[in-house]
Amino acid sequence: MNSAKVIEVIVTDILRRGEGIEGDPIRIITQYWDSEGNLLVEDDPLTKERLEELITLKMKASNKDRIIEELNRKLSNIKGRK
């Protein structure tokens, strides 16, 4: 870290976002604003869930690729022994 500073942050909760349907449930959103009224970041539980799903899917795909590579190596070794 090259620098750090303390800033005043305003935290707000939006009590309702979402349509209340599958894929867009009603939820609470937390927003963080600077003292000049600029939105710094928004914490949306749905976004977190979707991001976690994507990470999980990517990890599973990555593991499948490694397993396939390992099986191909083993198959090559078996074929090489013949």
Domain interval for residue 73: 45-82
**β pairing state of 39-43 and 27-34:** antiparallel
Nearest residue to 42 (alpha-carbon basis) of 33, 31, 50: 31
> So what's the pLDDT on residue 74?
74
pLDDT bucket at 54, cuts 50 / 70 / 90: low
Q: What is the pTM of this model?
A: 0.52
pLDDT at 81: 62
Residues 55 and 28 in one domain: no
- Pairwise CA distance, residues 18 & 44, whole Å: 11
Q: 62 and 36, same structural domain?
A: no
Q: What pLDDT band is residue 10 in, cutting at 50, 70 and 90?
A: very high
Distance CA 59, CA 36 (A): 40
Are 27 and 46 within 8 A, CB to CB?
yes
Residue 60: pLDDT above 80? no
Residue 40 parent element (H or E): strand 39-43
Same domain, 8 and 20: yes
Percentage, residues of the chain above pLDDT 90: 11
